[in-house]
Structure 1
């Protein structure tokens, strides 16, 4: 924090983590990337330092945001708008490397490690994108490798069509190292648009580089001038009033009122407050989870800093009343997905055909979880078989039982029984919702094993289920437009197909998470299913965090869970962590899911916890 403020000369600058590293001039925020989390401590430290240096010495001091705004507006009409923006973000970052090292020669090693690590990473990503024919993503990866290499890029094994477009682009874009300003870099990128338009048939869906534009577009030129100011004003002079009338005008206050605590004033202009008084957050007793009670535990961890994890009983009761009012007034048509999500829109993505690598890795994971699947399957099948043959006893009509003792002991003896005729198929369906926010970066691989156990166990029992990932595109979100993605890894129809499952491996960490909105969408999907019992599991590693959602995310998610339960859907939250769970995290999870949540402080043990949870849920539907 101190180093960032010293480099940028901004006393109010804050430093935080995000999926991608970028500088936010309006909020005076500098984000370092969680990309470095899985690396060894020494490399991680240098990587995070390189993020800080490139943002504080480069983007905060050298970048011209007016040029970025002009470029962004011009690219909106392109069919490859996301690629165009990420191209400029990449070119600008590479352009700033040399000026940063020139200002601080001691950071050269960190910058070198940064470039080498990202080059290796994009090499791995390139192979996947080529296999899946994602040419926009593959093109950006190739360009980064070639623009940061010393000639070794010629050994890249890429398709001929991709190489044909990359060769002239590399020749042109290599001039970025001669650019002296953001404006020159932007013009260099714009010159490539005609060539890109002829090659790219679809835009990028993966975010590799962050270009800060969405809030700039809503700002005036004066505001942008303030953003791009390198130093604070030395003087803050005020103009003295020489006219009594003018003085009175400046002394006028814009009054505020609230219907619960005050009355309207006579002023023509006034604010009506949404809430009248401040409320103390609840931080009282924490429920301790037991090993045998993990299916009904309590939790929460944040994907980024948030202060809204605790709520008073009054706030939660008010949230419950809001849900009840919504259910009785036109189905809540004014805000069908909650007032906090009135500007949220959803984009549905479907899994692509799994690659050979994915199928091989899936087979390996399946072998690891097979013992739990087999045990669970045997338990459920034996329970079903026992129930099918076990008779109903204590009836007034039917077959006469051998034990006639109740004739003398009971006033109204029930001496008859009937055998049951039960189906071997369970009348239930499951949905699994997986948080794909950036904080899942260090947990996603282990989480996938638990998801595979979930799929294999239910498929073996022929129980219909679906698996979805979700995230909000933070880089595109504004105060009035919040795009969310619901990724369909496995649909209800595909869940019991032979060889289904490798699509699960396409789940990956992305950006923010708007949990309440997605729970409502999955509730709608579950209500369309014909099964009698419907269960929704939500995998998450932190509080809901999205644009304009931090302060109301927990209450909104609680309302979504409550609404689903009122529709007869069982909702269980599963908290994932790699370290000890903190009390405030437990309290936040309790506020959202009540007693029906599961705490896992070691995500590597997720399969061990999933098996008894599924067993308990399925047996509950049988009894």
Structure 2
């Protein structure tokens, strides 16, 4: 895991992952596209080939109301505007024409489309008027400033674009950049009803513009995102069969993707039918991966000599490991991830060190167990009163004073075993090397407390193989230290065989463990993550924070409470604390020194177990 302090602090901003997730949910709802991805870039972007749209960083560093409404207007413009009403066919036809001023021509069209689509959204959704008013006010001020600067510097094409933006909203600005002829042509945008109409108006203006200006734009105020040559070709698609066999032309991004997804589903069904008939267990092309159906790439045999529970574990080592494809079920960031699940190779030589630590921790474990059992006993003995049946209470005045008396009580039945399950993910990245010994001690404490309470738990080391990772394949490893199925088996030697490796893909690991915990029937589910910094893996540095926050949100929705312990050798900084709040909300605690790892682990366990006892 990359240390949080590894950056030179030229720009130490972090992404507001929670906000981005909310905006993405809104974008998907507006576009009626559950597969739509939302990112943040310099300018608004539409990237149909990636099923993605991007809002602009233009709104950062403003007052909260402006930031909120600015981002919302971006989302509405992209998902309710461009996604539904921007013609790919007209855009590709427009882009195919040559011009000596290609940048100015392109940006004029996109400026016109922003105006047309904004007005369309305002009419369809009157509740958006205030956010678009604010948007246009802020952008008008920006273009006014840019207009003056560009004229002063002699960037006439850029100044024309600024003047064009202002002309559609505040009237023609001072100066002769947009002369009468161009202004009259440009205001024809008020009547434009489509991308094709806007393109015709821009092309009608270009003859005079090319005569007036010799050089193209310097700055980029508008961009589409995907270059026209990468875009899907609009094509004829047969709709519902009618007597005349009417064909539906696919023009907008929405129409193209709806047709594409229908075809993909059809191809997937055909592939599945073929596999069922042939009896193949490999993953279908374009299909969903099912458990046990992953493609086998490599096989390895473990040779652990550690202490193991016979049931199942020996079989794990004998049968080897299968490398599975993550696919889309783990999220867009992990489509090229492959992963292996295997037992950690326990070193029996670590037994003396483990027992020595266990001896030191025994008083803490015993004190916590005593406190919990006392609370459990109190709860078991507490009477439930005012019942319709059960034992007759000694206080019978209610029979005479109440219309519907409830004079019975019942003692709670002993709860026995706590109805809870725990998962623990341990960061196995290279930066953990100087914290391994203290981490092992904290994990051993976690293991011993839950083992003595007979609470099912799973401890897993996770990491990514940075040396093997490339654009097409990112191998990840999950090494089981203790599995749910192991019960109260002692895996101290496995814990003390922990080692540091390379990178860490936190969001992927959380989703993997979430999948395992969702199969459990316990009422209370807790997932602890021990890490020493932010996520760091191949092509994951920029999106790791957002993806991890999204994974935590998904886990919480699934009824799994995610808790994070930041392992550090010094006190946490405000910047680090803010980073972990972004990913884990208020469920992140910090250990400011090596000695505090075990103490904070004990505190986390105490808090969660008290919650379990209290709620029953």
The TM-score, its normalising length taken from structure 2, stands at 0.48
Larger Rg: 2
The TM-score, its normalising length taken from structure 1, stands at 0.47
Task: Report 1 or 2 for greater relative contact order, CA contacts < 8 Å, sequence distance ≥ 6.
Answer: 1
